[in-house]
Amino acid sequence: MTDKKDFSLRYEIIGRVVKVFLQGAFREDSGKELRDLVEKRLEEKYVRFVFDFGHSRAMSSPAVATALDLAEMIVDTNHGRLIISGLTDLNLKVFEMVGMFMYAEACTTHTEAEVRALI
């Protein structure tokens, strides 16, 4: 179970883009928080997302699976766009191995990602 002290999730809506900032260990419970947030924004008809992992270094396998599932939901089911920013080299490789970049694009910074989300 994720200890609230070691994980936080916040988001802001900039125009048509939902920017999600993850901080701390991204584990199974963290993934559930992210799923709830994304599903609520999708219900509100937002389909452009940025997930910023700049302050979230550790990821568990269930959380990565949830992120992949959300990417598919955003892109395939809702015809949206997902940009992921702030990944460490290791987390970038993990996302490459699981096929995340069939759905999402990686950017270095969340500012660059916000611009890419609008394209």
CATH of 4-117, one of 3.30.420.40, 3.90.76.10, 3.30.300.30, 3.30.750.24: 3.30.750.24
Could you tell me the end-to-end alpha-carbon distance of the chain, in angstroms, rounded to an integer?
37
- Strands of 7-14's sheet, edge to edge? 7-14, 17-24, 48-55, 81-85, 104-107
pLDDT tens digits in sequence order for the chain, 119 residues long: 444 568 899 999 999 999 999 999 999 999 999 999 999 999 999 999 999 999 998 999 999 999 999 999 999 999 999 999 999 999 999 999 999 999 999 999 988 998 899 88
Q: Which two tokens stand for residue 101?
A: 């970049």
Q: Where are the domains of the chain?
A: 4-117
The backbone region for 114, taken as left when phi is positive above 0, alpha when psi lies in -120 to 50, beta otherwise, is alpha
Q: If you search the block for the tokens 């955003």, which residue do you land on?
A: 74
